[in-house]
């Protein structure tokens, strides 16, 4: 089989994988709220602080 | 006096601030929230954003209905007996601190397993173990920390909203196909005009068919799925004998697909699959852009969003029970607590009623009612507990009947033909006649090319750029207005707003502020001692009038009164040393008035001698006269007020001469007034605020609700204007007129592209690659043009 069929198949498979990933992400509601995750992401590090003080106080 | 701001909520502390942990607090509520947060190691809340909190309100007994199993099962999203998931709407969510604290609810109560905030929607989704914490306890916990959820009849009755994601899928499909078809077209682009016969690139020509049929496969989901809306819309339009803009679009898509398939089947050319998928992708992008609106605002509210879910009913043997509002029948005894809304019309049987009807009638001051008098649904009880007997059911009450009017059932969108559709008709006729003329010419001249020319004209004339002009201009304006605190329901409203020729205003709450009121004193001057006693007396009273007068009087030292009595519904009595004062209604202080005074006053007497009175005025919004003056240049104006004529003279002085003023207007009369104007061919803008304007807002061409706080509920409307931007209203109307001009300019621009394209099509030289360049180029330049123009327009808005 000519190499072009192999390449076309690979490129199509990659494209379809991304397409499926998109469909799944929409279905899981990733596009419902596009603001809160951006804020939530910034909390992560600071959350450790109150936890530490909790350990100390005990 | 130096002003201190509350550490929790940031409000100015009136009186003496409560100091706790070396931090000032404005009230005990704020202090408690701080205590809860700091004792649970959650004080990071204050590091994220200073003074982020909200003062909790007293809520005793308000959520007793959440013990009712039926209500719980209706409200929860998931409930298997052990774990429950509930989605609650919390209007006070406003900053990142809010998100942080609400997502750390499990630190406050370990039974909460997960909580997730949706900031744009202002909702929180809480998963919790039922045995550890009930829904009521959860709601109380939230209320205790200043995040009181709003649970209304609508949540109870309404089906769970499912957002339509099909546009996103369609956009995804079209984008996916567009990208891949573009890739697969590359060999054709590089190998222009050559075929195996004429000695082109051998290697590419050998696999030409594979590439072409792959493109065909990719275009199938685009035509049959992604573009399906256009076929449906065109079909609906044709059936209703309207040539909307979707007719030429659908025609273009069909012709593109058929001609391309025909071309590759008979090996005539590469087909127009790249243009086809690109066209659909750009069109859907425009639709997507137009569709995004304000998810946290609701423009479709009726009385159900205001009414409580459940109410306390008294059984014949005197027990209290919580029942859903709809189950209230004629003759039921109902208990209304402080700050609760009266859900049905009925008769007062116990207690002192001070009812705030501002929602229903627009009257600004609370009305006192005596036992035996009629009270109406929609009022809010302000002083203590009352009991009433229902005389109607909820849906038959005076206020709720308004929603039976046909206005609330018709959809404004269907009745209005937008600019794009009106141009679509002429455009379709124009394109079809050019196509037939060109075909006729070629049939005569070179019949072999006739079909080619006919399809080429339909392909190149597909009004992609025209269809994009309006969504991008108006979608962008929607966003710009949103930044300026003018929240519009959809893009069509902007078009409607540009056509307005008459503006009707409600008075109370619309052109007056609800936050401030002013008063002036009439009568004999008060001695310094009397002034001091007056201020100290009303300090203790919670009556709304006392509160506003207290804020208006100048500072006095705090003294201890010898005697203080509050006679609810009448006034206050107090004494200090040898001065006895009475403050309250005219009858209470012993002044006999025969005249029927329409203004609101507090009367004062000292040692049984009448001294004078404080007369309250509506405080009009800043810049009211200039707004009206500017608007009167191009618009007809009128005022429709539910209030009495007490303010007539002051209004007349403020407004342009001969502005018609109508007082004592009922909700239905307001609605009919607007209907009459519309029957005369006027395009009416209604500006209102309360439920009493709901009918008029729905009837008008554009209904704008003015709101002091956009998160608090406003009636169903087309747009919500933040009260602080009232002065800009006329500018906004002018801006929407200008955005219509921008659309018209883009139409001219895209017609220019069409003319270039038509030249190639009519002369029979349309190569797929020309279409593939011209179509995206015209679409993108329209998008760029409208974006730049609207941003320039937005910059001019202050």
Alpha carbons B116 and B327: distance in angstroms, whole number: 34
Q: Is A38 on the interface with B (CB under 8 A)?
A: no
**CB contact (8 A) between residue A53 and residue B47:** no
User: What's the length of chain B?
Assistant: 798
Strand duo B23-25 + B18-20: pairing: antiparallel
Q: What is the DSSP letter of B527?
A: P
Buried b (16+ CB within 10 A) or exposed e, B20-58: beebbbbbebbbbbbebbeebbbebbbebeeebbbbbee
Inspect the interface and report whether the beta carbons of B41 and A53 lie closer than 8 Å: yes
Chain B hits for A47, Cβ within 8 Å: 44, 104
The 10s digit of each residue's pLDDT in B575-593 is 877 788 888 777 777 776 6
Tell me the pLDDT band of B403, cut-offs 50, 70 and 90: low
Q: Are B717 and B299 in contact (CB under 8 A)?
A: yes
Per-residue pLDDT averaged across B308-312, rounded?
A: 74
Higher pLDDT, B307 or A6: A6
**Do β-strands B636-640 and B502-506 pair in parallel, antiparallel, or remain unpaired?**
parallel
CB B20 within 8 A of CB B31: yes
Name the residue with higher pLDDT: A20 or B146: A20
What is the band of B124 on the pLDDT scale with cuts at 50, 70, 90?
confident
- pLDDT recorded at residue B415: 54
- Tokens representing B178 are 């567009």
Convert the pLDDT of each residue in A3-52 to its tens digit. Answer: 888 888 999 999 999 999 999 998 887 877 777 888 777 775 554 444 44
Higher pLDDT, B712 or B682: B682
Tokens of B455: 């399809």
Closest CA in chain A for residue B104: A47
- Residue B571 DSSP symbol: E
Q: Is the predicted pLDDT of residue B300 greater than 70, yes or no?
A: no
Q: Which letter does DSSP use for residue B326 in this model?
A: G
User: What pLDDT score does B221 carry?
Assistant: 93
Set of chain B residues whose Cβ sits within 8 Å of the Cβ of A53 = 41
pLDDT the model gives residue B1: 44
Instruction: Sketch the domain layout of chain A as residue ranges.
Output: 3-57
Buried-state track B362-400, b at ≥16 Cβ within 10 A, e below 16: bbbbbbbbeeeeebbbbbbbbbeebbbbbbbbbeebbbb
Question: Most distant CA pair in chain B: distance in Å?
Answer: 119
In the predicted model, what is the mean pLDDT of residues B530-540?
79
Q: How far is CA B766 from CA B251, B693, B759, in A?
A: 18, 58, 9
Going by the DSSP 8-state scheme, the letter that residue B110 receives in this structure is T
Q: Which CATH number fits domain B514-620: 3.30.450.40, 1.10.357.140, 3.40.50.800, 3.40.1110.10?
A: 3.40.1110.10
- Write the burial class of residue B632 (CB in 10 Å: 0-12 exposed, 13-18 middle, 19+ buried): middle
List the single residue in B with minimal CA-CA distance to A54. B41
Top-ranked range on mean pLDDT: pick from B62-66, B334-338, B455-459, B763-767 = B455-459
Amino acid A53: pLDDT: 41
Do B25 and B7 form a contact (C-beta atoms < 8 A)?
Answer: yes
Tell me the C-alpha distance between B688 and B707, whole Å.
9
Q: The tokens of B67 are what?
A: 């013990």
Taking CA–CA distances from B203, the nearest residue in chain A reads A4
In chain B, what are the domain boundaries? 1-55, 64-157, 479-512+622-736, 514-620
Q: How far apart are CA B491 and CA B473, in angstroms?
A: 9
A55 pLDDT band, cuts 50/70/90, is very low
Q: Which residue has the tokens 């009623």?
A: B353
Give dist(CA A52, CA B71) in Å, integer. Answer: 41
Strands B563-567 and B333-336: unpaired
Per the CB < 8 A criterion, the answer to whether B309 and B65 are in contact is yes
A58/B415: higher pLDDT: B415
Q: A-B interface: how many C-beta pairs under 8 angstroms? A: 67
Cβ neighbours of A2 in B, within 8 Å:
207
CB contact under 8 A, B176 and A22: yes
Contacting residues of A for B207, CB less than 8 Å apart: 2, 4
Sequence-separated (6 or more) residues with CB below 8 Å from residue B430? none
Q: Do B180 and A15 touch (CB under 8 A)?
A: yes
d(CA B25, CA B65): 32
Q: What DSSP state is assigned to residue B20?
A: E
CA B254 to centroid of chain Cα atoms: 39
User: What pLDDT band is residue B123 in, cutting at 50, 70 and 90?
Assistant: confident
Of A15, A23, A32, the CB nearest to B163: A32
Which numeric CATH code is attached to B64-157?
3.30.70.100
Segment B297-311 shows an average pLDDT of 67
On whether the CB atoms of residues B289 and B475 are closer than 8 A, the answer is yes
- Judged by DSSP in three states, B763 sits in coil
User: What pLDDT sits at residue A51?
Assistant: 44
Strand residue runs (E) in B382-491: 386-390, 486-488
Average pLDDT of the segment spanning B529-538: 81
SS3 for B750? helix
Has residue B51 got a pLDDT over 80?
Answer: no
Question: Residue range B759-776: average pLDDT?
Answer: 80
What are the pLDDT digits (tens) for B640-677? 887 777 777 778 887 887 788 888 887 778 888 888 98
> Is the pLDDT higher at B162 or at B763?
B763
**CA distance, residue B329 to nearest chain A CA (Å):** 41
Residues of B with Cβ-Cβ distance to A40 under 8 angstroms: 99, 103
Question: CB neighbours of B782 closer than 8 A, spacing ≥ 6?
Answer: B465, B468, B469, B472, B746, B749, B750
The predicted-structure confidence for B197-255, as pLDDT tens digits, reads as follows 555 666 666 778 888 899 999 999 999 999 998 999 889 888 888 778 888 889 889 98
Please say whether the structural domain B479-512+622-736 has been given the CATH code 3.40.50.1000. yes
pLDDT (tens digit per residue) in B466-499: 888 888 888 888 888 888 888 888 888 888 888 8
Rounded to whole angstroms, how far apart are CA atoms B79 and B621? 49
> Cβ contact (<8 Å) for B41 and A51?
yes
Residue B463 has pLDDT above 90, yes or no: no
pLDDT bin (cut points 50, 70, 90) of residue B788 is: very high
CB contact under 8 A, A33 and B121: yes
Q: Predicted confidence band at B171 (pLDDT cuts at 50, 70, 90)?
A: very high
Which residue's entry shows tokens 């209703």?
B240
How far CA B419 is from CA of B241, B462, B467, B791, in Å, comes to 17, 17, 10, 21
pLDDT value, residue B303: 66
Residues B85, B125: Cα–Cα separation, whole Å: 7
Which of B223 and B54 is assigned the larger pLDDT? B223
B118 phi, psi to nearest 5 deg: -110, 100
Q: Is the ipTM of this complex over 0.85?
A: no
pLDDT for res B755:
87
* Rounded Cα gap, residues B110 and B92, in angstroms: 23
Q: Give dist(CA B456, CA B655) in Å, integer.
A: 60
Give percent above pLDDT 90 in chain B: 8
Q: Is A4 on the interface with B (CB under 8 A)?
A: yes
Instruction: From chain A, pick out residues whose CB is under 8 angstroms from the CB of B179.
Output: 15
- As a whole number of angstroms, the distance between CA B657 and CA B652 comes to 7
Cα A29 to chain centroid distance, Å, stands at: 12
Share the mean pLDDT of chain B.
79
State the average pLDDT over residues B186-199: 63
Q: With 70 as the cut, is the pLDDT of residue B361 above it?
A: no
Nearest CA in chain A to B95: A39
Contacts of B665 (CB under 8 A, 6+ apart): B640, B641, B642, B673
Beta strands in B621-701 (DSSP E): 636-640, 661-662, 684-688
pLDDT tens-place string over residues B601-640: 778 888 888 888 887 777 788 788 888 888 888 888 888 8
Choose from B40, B165, B222 for mutation: most chain A CBs within 10 A: B165
Mean pLDDT across the stretch B571-576? 81
pLDDT value for A56: 37
Instruction: Give the confidence band of B595 by pLDDT, cuts at 50, 70, 90.
Output: low
Query: Whole-model pTM?
Result: 0.75
Instruction: Name the helix (H) or strand (E) containing B377.
Output: none
For residue B15, what pLDDT is reported?
64
pLDDT for A48: 47
Within 10 angstroms of residue B96's Cβ, the number of other Cβ atoms is 19
- Of the listed ranges B369-373, B401-405, B774-778, the least confidently predicted one is B401-405
**Distance from the A44 Cα atom to the nearest Cα atom in chain B, whole angstroms:** 10
Alpha carbon B259 to its chain centroid, in Å, reads: 46
Q: What is the CA radius of gyration of chain B?
A: 33
pLDDT at residue number A20: 94
In the block, residue with structure tokens 């008709």: B425
């Amino acid at each position: 089989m000519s190499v072009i069929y192999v390449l076309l198949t690979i490129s199509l498979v990659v494209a379809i994988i991304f397409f499926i990933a998109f469909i799944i992400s929409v279905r899981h509601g990733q596009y419902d709220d596009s603001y809160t995750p951006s804020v939530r992401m910034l909390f992560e590090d600071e959350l450790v602080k109150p936890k530490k003080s909790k350990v100390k106080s005990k | 006096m130096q002003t201190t701001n509350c550490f929790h909520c940031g409000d100015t502390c009136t009186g003496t601030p409560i100091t706790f942990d070396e931090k000032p607090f404005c009230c005990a509520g704020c202090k408690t929230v701080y205590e809860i947060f700091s004792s649970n190691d959650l004080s990071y809340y204050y590091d994220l954003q200073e003074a982020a909190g909200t003062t909790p309100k007293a809520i005793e007994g308000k959520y007793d209905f959440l013990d009712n199993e039926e209500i719980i099962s209706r409200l929860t999203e998931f409930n298997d007996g052990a774990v429950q998931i509930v989605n609650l709407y919390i209007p006070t969510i406003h900053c990142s601190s809010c998100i942080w604290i609400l997502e750390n609810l499990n630190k406050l109560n370990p039974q909460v397993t997960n909580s997730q905030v949706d900031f744009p929607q202002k909702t929180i989704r809480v998963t919790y173990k039922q045995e550890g914490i009930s829904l009521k306890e959860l709601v109380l916990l939230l209320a205790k920390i200043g995040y009181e959820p709003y649970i209304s009849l609508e949540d109870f009755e309404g089906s769970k909203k499912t957002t339509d994601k099909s546009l996103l899928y369609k956009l995804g499909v079209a984008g996916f196909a567009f990208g891949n078809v573009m890739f697969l077209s590359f060999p054709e682009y590089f190998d222009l005009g050559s075929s195996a016969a004429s000695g082109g690139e051998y290697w590419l020509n050998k696999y030409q068919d594979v590439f072409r049929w792959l493109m065909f496969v990719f275009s199938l989901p685009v035509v049959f799925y992604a573009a399906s809306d256009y076929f449906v819309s065109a079909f609906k339009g044709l059936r209703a004998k309207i040539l909307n803009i979707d007719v030429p679009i659908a025609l273009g898509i069909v012709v593109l697909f058929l001609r391309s398939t025909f071309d590759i089947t008979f090996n005539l050319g590469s087909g127009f699959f790249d243009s086809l998928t690109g066209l659909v992708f750009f069109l859907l992008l425009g639709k997507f852009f137009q569709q995004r609106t304000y998810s946290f605002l609701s423009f479709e509210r009726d009385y159900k969003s205001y009414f409580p879910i459940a109410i306390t009913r008294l059984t014949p043997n005197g027990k209290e029970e919580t029942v859903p509002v709809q189950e209230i029948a004629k003759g039921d005894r109902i208990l209304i607590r402080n700050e609760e809304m009266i859900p049905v019309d009925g008769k007062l049987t116990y207690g002192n009623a001070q009812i705030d009807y501002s929602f229903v009638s627009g009257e600004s001051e609370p009305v006192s009612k005596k036992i035996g008098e009629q009270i109406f649904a929609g009022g809010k009880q302000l002083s203590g507990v009352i009991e009433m007997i229902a005389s109607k059911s909820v849906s038959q009450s005076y206020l709720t009947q308004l929603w039976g009017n046909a206005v609330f059932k018709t959809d404004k969108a269907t009745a209005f033909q937008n600019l794009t559709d009106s141009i679509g008709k002429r455009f379709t006729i124009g394109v079809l006649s050019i196509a037939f003329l060109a075909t006729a010419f070629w049939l005569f001249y070179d019949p072999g090319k006739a079909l080619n020319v006919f399809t080429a004209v339909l392909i190149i004339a597909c009004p992609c750029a025209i269809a994009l002009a309006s969504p991008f201009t108006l979608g962008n304006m929607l966003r710009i207005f949103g930044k300026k605190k003018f929240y519009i329901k959809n893009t069509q409203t902007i078009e409607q707003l540009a056509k307005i020729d008459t503006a009707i205003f409600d008075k109370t709450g619309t052109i007056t502020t609800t936050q401030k009121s002013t008063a002036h004193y009439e009568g004999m001057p008060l001695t310094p001692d009397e002034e001091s006693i007056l201020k100290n007396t009303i300090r203790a009273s919670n009556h709304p009038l006392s509160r506003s007068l207290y804020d208006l009087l100048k500072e006095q030292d705090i003294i201890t009164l010898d005697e203080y009595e509050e006679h609810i519904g009448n006034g206050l009595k107090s004494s200090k040393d040898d001065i006895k004062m009475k403050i309250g209604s005219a009858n209470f202080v012993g002044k006999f008035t025969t005249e029927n005074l329409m203004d609101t006053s507090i009367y004062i007497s000292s040692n049984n001698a009448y001294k004078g009175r404080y007369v309250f005025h509506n405080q009009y919004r800043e810049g009211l006269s200039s707004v009206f003056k500017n608007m009167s240049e191009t618009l007809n104006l009128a005022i429709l007020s539910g209030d009495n004529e007490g303010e007539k003279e002051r209004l007349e002085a403020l407004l342009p001469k001969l502005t018609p003023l109508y007082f004592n207007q009922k909700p239905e009369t307001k609605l009919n007034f607007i209907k009459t104007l519309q029957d005369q061919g006027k395009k009416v803008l209604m500006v209102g605020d309360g439920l009493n304007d709901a009918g008029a807002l729905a009837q008008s061409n554009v209904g704008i609700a003015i709101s002091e706080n956009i998160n608090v509920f406003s009636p169903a409307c087309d747009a919500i204007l933040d009260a602080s931007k009232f002065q800009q209203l006329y500018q906004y109307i002018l801006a929407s007129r200008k955005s219509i001009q921008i659309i018209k300019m883009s139409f001219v621009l895209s017609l220019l592209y069409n003319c270039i394209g038509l030249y190639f099509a009519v002369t029979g030289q349309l190569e797929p690659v020309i279409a593939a360049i011209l179509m995206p180029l015209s679409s993108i330049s329209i998008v760029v043009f409208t974006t730049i123009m609207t941003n320039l327009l937005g910059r001019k808005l202050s």
